[in-house]
Amino acid sequence: MATSRLNTTRARTEWLKSFSATLGFDFCGIARAAFLDEDAYRLEAWLNKGFHGKMAYMENHFDKRLDPTLLVPGAQSVVTLMLNYYPEEQQVTDGPKISKYAYGMDYHEVIRQKLNRLFEEMKTVIGDISGRGFVDSAPVLERSWARKSGLGWVGKNGNLINKKAGSFFFIATLITDVAFDYDDPYAKDYCGSCTRCLDACPTDAIVSPAVIDGSKCISYLTIELRDELLPQEFSGKMDNWMFGCDACQDVCPWNRFSTPHSTPEFSPVPAIFNFSSADWEMMTEDIFRNLLRNSPVKRTKWKGIQRNLKFIRSRESGSR
């Protein structure tokens, strides 16, 4: 049963945003749970064009991606939480490049702990409620909900951009059957006529503003694609990226407002800053598992890293 101090939507909203900040989240926005009409056509068209590549899971649970009440029966609110991961230091080694989000500990574990703590506290101070938290773990359109929660707009590079802080953020979602005061959707697109991200994409994966051919994205090729060999058509286009890619974010003018994160768990693994290409190539599978056991890089596995290294180095040696 709800406590007297949180028996209004305003009181619950103020508490939620305040407590999420104490957990380290940089932004918290809340939208009314409803069917995502605008996204239905875009998602269907994207899938029909095969832009999801071999990510077959993207074809599953179409309705659940659009209707939060299918994930949480009786859902009233979708809470979006954003956590900064922009690093204070960046790679200066001549080794292969790794996306900034993977410098430190696996964000899934870090954010999941925060979400669990948040929801447990919600049940304590609000009462008998239901809900589920998600961090890339369910069919949820995180960026759409972030926009509906007033936290930013989806830029031409497909990333959620916050006008005050850029795009280097993890996005988490909490769907619950509790009502709150809802934020106004972010209605304006501040990308304007800028095309820096489109121009900078090494593989031309941004086919039009906010439409990404995932099958061409370096992040997909180096992480999601499980084939033994990478497609030959991308030879010489990987720009030395071994795991993920930040090209479209690095050139975005709005990321001039990015500031270093304050999450200790995201402190860089020394190997990522210090290892050369030769160090990575000589790494055994046992060392890889031990050294990167808490890193997002482990997702590609040792064989995937070796595959990626061989591919991006093939151009230098003049052979495949």
Q: Which of 37, 94, 106, 136 is catalytic?
A: 136
Q: What is the DSSP letter of 228?
A: S
Beta strands 153-154 and 131-134 are: unpaired
Q: HSE-up of 234 (CA within 13 Å, CB side)?
A: 25
- Surface-to-core class of residue 320, CB atoms within 10 Å of its CB (0-12 exposed, 13-18 middle, 19+ buried): exposed
Residue pair 166/199 in contact by the 8 Å Cβ criterion: no
Q: Which residues fall within 8 angstroms of residue 223, CB to CB, at 6 or more apart?
A: 243, 244, 299, 300, 304
Coil vs helix vs strand at 204:
coil
What is 34-74 written as a DSSP string? ---HHHHHHHHHHHHTTTTTT-GGGGS-HHHHH-GGGTSTT
In sequence order, the 6+-apart residues with CB closer than 8 A to the CB of 35 are 66, 67
User: What is the Cα–Cα distance from 237 to 192, expressed in whole angstroms?
Assistant: 27
Q: What is the C-alpha separation between 188 and 190, in angstroms, rounded?
A: 6
- Please report which helix (H) or strand (E) contains residue 127, including its range: none
- The tokens for 262 are 């304050």
Residue 311 dihedral angles phi and psi, to the nearest 5°: -70, -45
Angle at 295 between CA 54 and CA 142, to 5 degrees: 55
Write the Ramachandran bin of 136: left for phi over 0, alpha for psi from -120 to 50, otherwise beta: left
Told to judge if 189 belongs to the known catalytic residues of this protein, a careful annotator would answer no
Q: Which residue numbers are catalytic? A: 136
